[in-house]
Amino acid sequence: NAGVTQTPKFRVLKTGQSMTLLCAQDMNHEYMYWYRQDPGMGLRLIHYSVGEGTTAKGEVPDGYNVSRLKKQNFLLGLESAAPSQTSVYFCASSFASSGANVLTFGAGSRLTVL
């Protein structure tokens, strides 16, 4: 049981290049999320999805796009990378339930934009 898997784990981009981060979960979770972690900023929500075919903006969505074509996958795209997008990106998933809504996180993807 892999849980939440993120690929790639590391990537270096030049300003203006594009790339896609892939997140896959095998827990049949309805909700999926993309967060970024920056020093002194904690974890900030970029985009999220409450089900297949749906996406919504989080706290810091600018410069990113997402797609949830299949329930188990959530893609995060950068169309034109900027140095400000240098960060560690975490994907997470959870059941669509009331209560604490515990998120299960992937191991992270470290992106550097030069």
Partner 1 sequence: DQQVKQNSPSLSVQEGRISILNCDYTNSMFDYFLWYKKYPAEGPTFLISISSIKDKNEDGRFTVFLNKSAKHLSLHIVPSQPGDSAVYFCAARPNFGNEKLTFGTGTRLTIIP
Q: Please, which residue, 67 or 105, has the CB nearer to partner 1?
A: 105
What DSSP line would sit under 68-96, residue for residue? -SSTTEEEEEESS--GGG-EEEEEEEE-S
> Judged by CB, which is closer to partner 1: 17, or 22?
22
Residues counted in the chain: 114
Least distance in Å: CB of 108 to partner 1?
Answer: 6
Residues at the site binding partner 1, with contacts judged by CB under 8 A: 4, 31, 33, 35, 40-45, 48, 50, 58-59, 90, 92, 94, 96, 98-108
**Minimal distance in Å, beta carbon 97 to partner 1?**
8
Nearest to 82 by CA among 57, 55, 112, 105: 112
Q: Which is nearer to partner 1, 80 or 101 (CB)?
A: 101
Half-sphere exposure of 18 (CA within 13 A, CB side): 7
